[in-house]
Amino acid sequence: MMVDKKESFKFPKRERLTHPQEFRSVMKFGKKIPSRNLILFFKENRSQTHRLGLVVSREVGSAAYRNRVKRFIREFFRHHKNRIRGTLDMVILVRKNCTLQSYRETKEEVGRLVGIV
């Protein structure tokens, strides 16, 4: 099956965790990998695609900073989701002492967590 290049870089709703019970399920029953700025929770799913959910509390920083970090993580996911093995539900929790300042830093840290970089 030929996949349209533009289509593969989108982040459609079917690739997002949207309901609180989905987040709770992944965080309670999934595996956990901590890093300096982030915590990755992941659990196998039965769908055809990976799904991503982000948790960034107000304690992390200003709204502008929280949105920037979320944008960096979503961008990484959009570009690298095809390299992640299996089909997973993933929740990335941003720690309150997060020091990520650039996309490059975020890419390296998330890449280590998901086993790509």
Q: State the pLDDT at residue 7.
A: 54
Count of structural domains within the chain? 1
Say if residue 91's pLDDT is above 50.
Answer: yes
pTM of the complete model beyond 0.95: no
**Mean pLDDT value across residues 92-96:** 93
Residue 1, pLDDT score = 42
Evaluate whether residue 65 is within a structural domain: yes
Burial code (b: 16+ CB inside 10 Å, e: under 16) for 53-92 equals: bbbbeeebbeeeebebbbebbbbbbeeebeeeeeebbbbb
Q: In CATH, what number is assigned to the domain containing residue 69?
A: 3.30.230.10
Q: Is residue 78 assigned to a domain?
A: yes
Task: Summarize pLDDT for 21-50 with one digit per residue, the tens.
Answer: 999 999 999 999 999 999 999 999 888 888
Q: Which helix (H) or strand (E) holds 5?
A: helix 5-8
The whole-angstrom separation of Cα 7 and Cα 10 is: 6
| Percentage of the chain lying above the pLDDT 90 cut | 56
**Domain presence at residue 3:** no
Distance of CA 79 to the CA centre of its chain: 12
Per the prediction, the chain carries an average pLDDT of 87
Q: How many CA atoms lie within 13 A of 7 on its CB side?
A: 4
Q: Is residue 107 part of a domain?
A: yes
Domain span at 94: 14-114
